[in-house]
Amino acid sequence: MQENNKEEIEKMRDESRTETMRAVSSEIEKILYKPIPVLDHGFIRVIDYMGNDSSIVQAARVSYGVGTKRVQEDRGLINYLMRHGHTTPFEMCEIKLHVKLPIFVMRHWVRHRTANINEYSARYSVLSNEFYIPELEQIARQSETNKQGKSDVAMDTAKGQKVVDTLDDFSKSAYEKYSHMLDDLGLTRELARTILPVSVYTEMYWKIDLHNLLHFLKLRADSHAQYEIRCYANKILDIVKAWVPFTYDAFVNYRQNAVSVSRKCIELNKRMLKGKKITQENSGLSKGEWQEFLTAFDLRDLIS
Closest CA to 130 of 154, 157, 100: 100
Nearest CA to 150 among 141, 161, 159?
141
**Residues with catalytic function:** 220
d(CA 56, CA 247): 9
Q: How many other C-beta atoms lie within 10 A of the C-beta of residue 272?
A: 15
Parallel/antiparallel/unpaired status of strands 94-102 and 116-119: unpaired
Q: Using CB atoms within 10 A of its CB, is residue 52 exposed (0-12), middle (13-18) or buried (19+)?
A: buried
> What is the H or E stretch that residue 102 is in?
strand 94-102
Give dist(CA 249, CA 278) in Å, integer: 35
For the chain, the 3-state helix, strand and coil shares in percent, each to the nearest 5, are: 50, 15, 35
Looking only at the bridges linking them, the beta strands covering 94-102 and 42-50 are: antiparallel
Query: Measured at the alpha carbon of residue 292, what is the angle toward residues 226 and 214, in degrees to the nearest 5?
Result: 45
* Distance, CA of 89 to CA of 78 (rounded, Å): 9
